[in-house]
């Protein structure tokens, strides 16, 4: 069966679909010995010899789906030009390349999903699926509910934050813990939102991503493989092509 080349590369686990397109454009991919540079080119992953930088891709890699409790002080990419600790340092015992889904800021901790399944990674991050993200946010001060209600109308990057769901989790002396669910992942979004209402975020922890909840038994820096049921839940919400409400 003929399949788009960038999908074959992503499914092999060597790169994301977007990066696969760059590899193709840059002439680093061959099919049966011929260099391919045109996006949209199709191949048969079972019959054709497909190589990247003259190395054959793995045609049927085992699919891995991992839940990580990302620690603070760690970047959620596989490499860092500044030489900081990355999540790749937490997976040196896993030989296959993993791709992070739903990245977190350097000083934000909590739930991240990693996989070598390029198709799932692409779909979970596509805006049309509107996957929810739930956080516990510790803010400085004791904001009134009327102030918190203004968060959805805050302008970031020239447009409002939009739909969100929040509740006051608890108040401790001069700080407040807020549970916040959003359906987007803009750059430093949560910090910027609370800066805008003059109650800066002191600590941010993601506790939910779509139907998945952070495993309470996972300490920062620890991970576990998703259960069969959890993987089925992810596939189900993607097949529905609709907004998932936590």
pLDDT at 61: 67
**Count of domains in the chain?**
3
Q: Which residue has the higher pLDDT, 102 or 206?
A: 206
- CA distance to 99, 120, 135, 192, per residue, from 15 (Å): 8, 13, 28, 31
CA dihedral of 180, 70, 121, 138, whole degrees rounded to 10: 10
- The answer to whether 13 and 6 are in contact (CB under 8 A) is no
d(CA 29, CA 86): 28
Give residue 2's Cα distance to chain centre: 29
Residue 15 has pLDDT above 90, yes or no: no
Highest mean predicted confidence (pLDDT) among 15-24, 84-93, 104-113: 104-113
**Res 1 pLDDT > 90:** no
Q: How many residues does the chain have?
A: 246
- What was the pLDDT predicted at 12? 77
Instruction: Say yes or no to pLDDT of 87 above 80.
Output: yes
**CATH number for the domain that contains residue 112:** 3.30.70.580
The answer to whether position 202 is within a domain reads yes
Domain of 142, CATH number, reads 3.30.70.1560
Residues labelled as active-site residues: 105
Domain encompassing residue 219: 65-128+212-240
**What band does 241 get if pLDDT is binned at 50, 70 and 90?**
low
Which helix (H) or strand (E) segment holds residue 182: the answer is strand 175-182
pTM: 0.76
Is residue 229 located within the same domain as residue 194?
Answer: no
Is the domain of 143 the same as that of 204? Answer: yes
| Residue 36: half-sphere exposure toward Cβ, Cα within 13 Å | 26
Please report, for the domain that includes residue 42, its CATH number. Answer: 3.10.290.10
203 & 143 share domain: yes
């Amino acid at each position: 069966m003929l399949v788009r080349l960038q999908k074959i590369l992503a499914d092999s686990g060597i790169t994301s679909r977007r990066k696969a397109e760059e590899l193709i454009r840059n002439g680093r991919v061959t099919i049966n010995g011929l260099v391919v540079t045109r996006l949209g080119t199709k191949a048969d992953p079972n019959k054709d010899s497909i190589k990247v930088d003259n190395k054959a891709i793995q045609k049927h890699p085992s699919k891995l789906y991992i839940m990580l409790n990302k620690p603070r002080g760690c970047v959620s990419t596989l490499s860092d030009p500044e030489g900081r600790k990355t999540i790749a340092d937490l997976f040196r015992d896993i030989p296959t390349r993993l791709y992070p889904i739903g990245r977190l800021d350097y000083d934000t901790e909590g739930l991240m999903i990693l996989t070598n399944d390029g198709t799932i990674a692409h779909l979970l991050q596509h805006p049309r699926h509107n996957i929810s993200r739930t956080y516990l946010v510790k803010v400085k001060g004791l904001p009134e509910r009327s102030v918190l209600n203004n968060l959805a109308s805050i302008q970031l990057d020239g447009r409002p934050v939009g739909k969100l769901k929040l509740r006051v989790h608890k108040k401790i002396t001069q700080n407040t813990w807020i549970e916040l669910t959003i359906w987007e992942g803009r750059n430093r979004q949560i910090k910027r939102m609370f800066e805008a209402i003059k109650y800066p975020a002191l600590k941010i922890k993601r506790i939910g991503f779509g139907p998945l909840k952070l495993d309470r038994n996972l300490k920062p820096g620890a991970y576990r493989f998703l259960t069969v049921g959890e993987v089925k839940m992810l596939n189900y919400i993607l097949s529905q092509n609709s907004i998932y409400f936590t």
